[in-house]
Amino acid sequence: MSNETFYLTTPIYYVNATPHLGHAYTTILADTMARFQKLRLGPERVYFLTGTDEHGDKIAQAATQTGESPQAYADRISGIFQETWRRLGLAPNQFIRTTSEPHKRAVQRLLQQIYDSGDIYFGEYGGQYCFGCERFYTEKELQDGRCPDHQTTPTFIKEQNYFFRMGKYQDWLIDHIRHHPDFIRPERFRNEVLSFLKDPLEDLCISRPRTRLEWGIPLPFDAQYVTYVWFDALVNYISAPGWPDGEVFQRFWPSAQHLIAKDILKPHAIYWPIMLKAAGLPLYRHLNVHGYWKIEEAKMSKSRGSVVRPLDLADKYGVDAFRYFVLREMTFGLDASFSEEALVARLNADLANDLGNLYSRVLKLIQRYYDGRISELPGERGLADATRVAVMGVTAATERFAFSEALAAIWNLVSATNKYLVTNEPWKADPEDAQTKAVLFSAAETLRAIAILLWPFLPQTAERMLQGLGVSEPLTSIHFDELLSSSWHLGSQERRVQEVEPLFPRIEVTVPRLKPAGTGAKPLPQKSPPLVPSPSEGGELGEGCIEQITIEEFRRIDLRVAEVIEAVAIPGSKKLVKLRVRLQDEERIVVAGLKEPYPPESWAGKRVILVANLRPTKLMGIASQGMVLAAEDESGRIVLLTPEQPISSGSKVR
């Protein structure tokens, strides 16, 4: 039996603020990956770590403002993080705090070890210091003389401190990154680090004088100084599992992977591996880097007053609906825009309509025809091939943290099951017919597979689905390989489906829309709030009637330049063509009704204007992820809208 293990960490979150969407997203990603690996390897071979970072200038300042001691302040905010993760259903193996005594001892041990090797020295340095980031910036790193994250002007500080000889290891780090292409992923962040390392690497100031800052871990070789917060925080990844001799450390560190947002790429991709090398410790396997959630095209930021509170959304729409939105909406490694309207659209279209209706239909028919009893499947199970494809797709995508792709693979199976039912129409058939029973029992078994596949992503929903299907065995006893079987192994057992309640009640919303000028404006109810009309919904307002919208409504429409990579005709359609397009680092499938004026062979290499945040719509069984814009004159002539001059794919149309 394999002894493979999986160790995954989130950043430890700084307690100068309470949790927001960015914190929740990273931790949900980690929780999802940990659950997936538990299905793949078994729960005892997976270790998931998160926690809070509690030392440094900002914590001391925040505590002063609230009238608390730094420790009392850290206790309170760390408690809020732990309670938030509990209410979001996140299940780490360990929650570490950097104010814990075992962590402090590990930091001092590592410092002493590196100091004894001669890689830490005492010196004087002057530089531009950002108190928000608690770090010095070079002139090259500043943007118009400001901190790129906080947009504040740094303060010049000159003082004596201890320094870590990072420059000594620069060539070694470059060589390691080049010879391990997946050390930092996605590739764009690997390239970013290599680009940064083209310039000489300055030694790192790793201390702060206690005359300026008391709230930190004292240096073991000079008690007049405390440890720089990054040299403290990064050590949590080995202190938590019990470095150097702890059983958990010995077992799990060889499989370590870190998960971070791109704003802390440099400390994790440069400081941390060099610290490990200097201490004679093996490096982590992968550094996985995700993008920002943006609000109105700007990074979410407490200092800028633009944050989304995860519990507000989870309380309003449900934990799993919130999880589904953030996992499905963001392509790993790229930025994504948050809007509550888009969350509701996903909930209604994907969860309530596609999954919820399928689940309800199958269970109700089994209750009506067979008194809810599911016995051994008569003959070979239909949809077995579609299930195998879904399992392989989910596995391949999840290993790369491509959770949006993984969910798309599951939804392909949902769609295949819906199509299977529509084709066979069991609601019109004789319940005593063996084929009817085979269709419904195959659909029920496929729903069981869907629930298991969904458990890493939507754990509460998956458990409700399995309970409704009469599955009693715990999820932790199920292995992904079992789903690849082509038959349903019930043996002599009989399952009985439960009463069906909606998995995701549809959200009815009222979206304010303006009537044509002069008629007054009243809110018009909608079943769901699409950002713009989809191709299947139309969008006609009537001849001569132009709907007025506000500038805020227009800003919700994300228009991007896309490069067409490939175009193919869709069999059975006179108008539709399937396009594979590139948006910067992302590829999408888009269905366009422009086959007659633009045959497939004319598309390759064209740059088109794409509505990039259109809710996905199925056309001829193909999920279209956007809309290509064209103009039509009075004669019916159609002209594709393209940029006037060459411009890179992904460029925003303003």
Tell me the DSSP string of 455-469: TTT-HHHHHHHHHHT
14, pLDDT greater than 80: yes
Kindly tell me the sign of the dihedral angle through the C-alpha atoms of 104, 110, 116, 122: negative
pLDDT tens sequence across 60-88: 999 999 999 999 999 999 999 999 999 99
- To the query of whether residue 545 is one of the catalytic residues in this protein, the response is no
With beta carbons less than 8 A apart as the criterion, state whether 604 and 566 touch. yes
Question: What tokens were used for 66?
Answer: 């609230």
Distance CA 653, CA 607 (A): 12
CB atoms within 10 A of CB 614: 21
Percent of the chain whose pLDDT exceeds 70: 87
Residue 301: its pLDDT value, please? 52
Residue 512: its pLDDT value, please? 39
Distance CA 260, CA 581 (A): 28
Strand partners for 409: none
Residue 500: its pLDDT value, please? 75
So where are the chain's domains?
A: 6-290, 334-496, 548-640
Residue 511: its pLDDT value, please? 39
Kindly tell me the sign of the dihedral angle through the C-alpha atoms of 511, 515, 520, 526: negative
Residue 384: its pLDDT value, please? 87
Residue 178: its pLDDT value, please? 97
With beta carbons less than 8 A apart as the criterion, state whether 329 and 28 touch. no
Categorize the per-residue pLDDT at 526 as very low, low, confident or very high, splitting at 50, 70 and 90: very low
- To the query of whether residue 104 is one of the catalytic residues in this protein, the response is no
Q: Which of 302, 489, 527, 652 is catalytic?
A: 302
CA angle 595, 598, 604 (to 5 degrees): 110
pLDDT tens sequence across 204-240: 999 999 998 999 999 999 999 999 999 999 999 999 9
| Residue 133 is assigned to a ligand binding site | yes
Q: In this structure, what DSSP letter does residue 292 have?
A: -
Taking domain 6-290, whether its CATH number is 3.30.450.20 is answered by no
Q: Which of 262, 266, 294, 299 is catalytic?
A: 299
| Residue 176 is assigned to a ligand binding site | no
Categorize the per-residue pLDDT at 304 as very low, low, confident or very high, splitting at 50, 70 and 90: very low
**Buried/exposed 219-239: b ≥16 CB within 10 Å, e otherwise:** bbeeeebbbbbbbbbbbbbbb
Residue 133: its pLDDT value, please? 76
The arithmetic mean of pLDDT across residues 416-426, rounded, is: 93
What is residue 584's three-state secondary structure? coil
Q: In this structure, what DSSP letter does residue 411 have?
A: H
The arithmetic mean of pLDDT across residues 329-349, rounded, is: 90
528, pLDDT greater than 60: no
Query: Which of 105-119, 250-264, 372-386, 590-604 has the weakest average pLDDT?
Result: 372-386
Supply the mean pLDDT for the chain.
86
pLDDT tens sequence across 86-135: 999 999 999 999 999 999 999 999 999 999 999 999 998 778 888 777 77
What is residue 575's three-state secondary structure? coil
Residue 654: its pLDDT value, please? 82
CB atoms within 10 A of CB 517: 10
Residue 362: its pLDDT value, please? 95
Q: What's the CATH class of domain 548-640?
A: mainly beta
Q: Which of 58, 103, 104, 133 is catalytic?
A: 133
What is residue 143's three-state secondary structure? strand
Percent of the chain whose pLDDT exceeds 90: 59
Residue 378: its pLDDT value, please? 59
| Residue 130 is assigned to a ligand binding site | yes
Distance CA 29, CA 336 (A): 15
Q: Which of 130, 277, 290, 595 is catalytic?
A: 130
- To the query of whether residue 20 is one of the catalytic residues in this protein, the response is yes
- To the query of whether residue 299 is one of the catalytic residues in this protein, the response is yes
Q: Which of 58, 147, 258, 290 is catalytic?
A: 147
CA angle 272, 274, 278 (to 5 degrees): 120
For 453, residues 6+ apart whose C-beta sits below 8 A from its C-beta are: 390, 391, 394, 410, 413, 483
Backbone angles phi, psi at 160, to 5 degrees: -85, 135
Q: Can you name the CATH fold of 334-496?
A: Isoleucyl-tRNA Synthetase; Domain 1 (1.10.730)
| Residue 205 is assigned to a ligand binding site | no
With beta carbons less than 8 A apart as the criterion, state whether 516 and 543 touch. no
- To the query of whether residue 147 is one of the catalytic residues in this protein, the response is yes
Residue 242: its pLDDT value, please? 97
pLDDT tens sequence across 535-593: 333 332 233 334 566 666 677 788 999 989 888 888 778 789 899 888 876 788 999 98
HEC string for 200-234: CCCCEECEEECCCCCCCCEECCEEEEEECHHHHHC
- To the query of whether residue 290 is one of the catalytic residues in this protein, the response is no
For 46, residues 6+ apart whose C-beta sits below 8 A from its C-beta are: 5, 6, 7, 8, 34, 37, 38, 93
Categorize the per-residue pLDDT at 325 as very low, low, confident or very high, splitting at 50, 70 and 90: very high
The more confidently predicted of residues 188 and 585 is 188
